Amino acid sequence: MEINWSDFEKVELRAGTVLEVLNFPEARKPAYKVKVDFGEFGIRWSSAQITFHYQKEDLVGRQIIGVINFPKKQIGKFMSEFLVTGFADENGNIVLSTLQRKVPNGSKMI
């Protein structure tokens, strides 16, 4: 499906730094709870099914890309406040979308 430029501009793909990562044993599929600083857009939590490729301690301090303007989503007793972005590898395990160089938290993908 083709979209126009104005459709793409509506998606708030923003850079944020991972502050904290917790286990999420209540999730149906293996996942972490991830706390991310999006600068002027605040600190937000999300659930991320990234346990296959990443250890909790390796994620803290990394910059990731999140969609911050989707509605919040209830996942069990947890409220996810943004969408963590990534790609599935050949086995369906998620590889995070990350940045090669540091940018200010909250920067928009252009």
Q: What is the DSSP letter of 108?
A: B
64: helix, coil or strand?
strand
Q: Is residue 86 part of a domain?
A: yes
Give the pLDDT confidence of 50-100 residue by residue, as tens digits. Answer: 999 999 999 999 999 999 999 999 998 899 999 999 999 999 999 999 999
Give pLDDT, residue 95: 98
pLDDT value at position 76?
86
What six digits make up the tokens of 74?
């209830």
CATH code: domain of residue 33: 2.40.50.140
Domain assignment present for residue 57? The answer is yes
- Per the DSSP assignment, residues forming a β-bridge with 79 are 74
Residue 84 lies in a domain: yes
Please indicate, yes or no, if residue 107 is contained in any of the structural domains.
no
Residues linked to residue 95 through DSSP beta bridges, in sequence order: 87
pLDDT tens for each residue of 16-34: 999 999 999 999 999 999 9
Number of domains, the chain = 1
Domain that holds residue 62: 5-96
- Looking at the domain assignment, is residue 104 inside a domain? no
Say if pTM beats, i.e. exceeds, 0.85.
Answer: yes
Average pLDDT over residues 4-24: 96
70 domain residue, yes or no: yes
Residue 52 in domain: yes
